[in-house]
Structure 1
């Protein structure tokens, strides 16, 4: 007579909280990265071409107003910085993914492969986001600061000099590069998000094998 089989569902169930946290952080990183890429894309394809059609006074006035608005906490703090930090945290969570502690549960080979693949995509996204940050610090912030440094502008020559200091072409070209970088980061994160993010465990056959009665 065979003894009743053990409950493999309870023994193969790892801590679901860690899996949920990993998924939520990755989802937040994906959303903030997508929003950031959209902002950069709009600047290269709508804002700068539109400003390029106006006179010097209007260009400088409008760009200064946009610059003041975009450096607020919503975009810089939540969007751009948030995308980088959340992606870094997501990489750490996937890198230090712990095996299940429940008795009779082992990480299946499919789950381990999925976790490694997700980590690679997340790290690729992180590299693209770091590139966007480097471009911002090395190119855009110095150019923006040049425009901010101008005091009161009175003559048409003053407005023209301030506009020339920004170097619209250089600003737009490198903004397109960071738009592409953040878009690629979004694609990488979306790919990682599409992978299975459950606990990914298989019951240990040696520990859940039914025992035969003597």
Structure 2
């Protein structure tokens, strides 16, 4: 009898075993569930009906429990992606405001006024303004967490979109900021406006302004692309 059970179990396909052992899909109808159990454990005698019923209850309980875990994981993943998209959108809006409002406004100032005004604005960031740091660093953490969860729960296009969003944001926004904008900010901060003449101020501005604006436009575009990719991911997720 044991060899017959093993032989019958060996004939089962992978999908059928997953149905029974892991509850990947709900079994369709009591007749199908009964037949599947019979093929794995063999027909039980009448005296073993209670054992068979208990086994069925255990199997269905595992199916329901796994389904509940899956829904919980998907809800958490959906929330993490939503937070990442929101924070990246805030970063994109911050950079966009600099590109179309702040820097064009500073452009109308004299060299001395331009340097001093940018120093004052940048000092707020360099003093680690709490809300800014929460958004800027939180966007990185949320995006990496979404990527890690996506590798566990998703595949195909959704996983590819998460990888693309993380790559675009980390290299296009964060790396650009670290390699170009922050060093330029530090150069401007090091200037003693009261101790420098008009020529030095003009040279410092010419060295700074065009490069900073070009880099900011690049990272703004990448931040917007990141946000759009995450929105596509959200649209592809099943409703929870």
Cα RMSD of the aligned pairs, angstroms, is 2.7
Aligned residue pairs total 181
Identify the residue that residue 95 of structure 1 maps to in structure 2.
Answer: 151
Alignment of 1:78-89 (within 5 A): 78-89=134-145
- Residues 107-165 of structure 1, C-alpha deviation per residue, up to 9 Å, x if partnerless? xxxxx6xx532221111110111121111111111111111112352443454344344
Deviates more, 1:70-79 or 1:88-97: 70-79
Which structure features the higher share of helix residues? 2
Give structure 1 regions of 4+ aligned residues with deviation exceeding 6 angstroms: 2-9
Distance 2:211 2:158 in 1: 35
**Residue in 2 aligned with 1:181?**
222
Verify: 1:160 aligned to 2:202, yes or no. yes
TM-score (norm 2): 0.67
How far the C-alpha of 1:17 sits from its partner, in A, is 2.1
Show the 5 A alignment for 1:52-201. 52-71=107-126, 72-74=128-130, 76-97=132-153, 115-131=155-171, 132-151=173-192, 153-154=194-195, 155-165=197-207, 167-197=208-238
**What is residue 46 of structure 2 aligned with on the other side?**
none
Q: Distance in 1 between matches of 2:30 and 2:142?
A: 49
Structure 1 unmatched ranges of 5 or more: 98-111, 200-214
Give ranges in structure 2 of 5+ residues lacking alignment: 1-28, 34-56
- Higher RCO (CA 8 Å, separation ≥ 6 residues): 1
Tell which structure's C-alpha radius of gyration is larger. Answer: 2
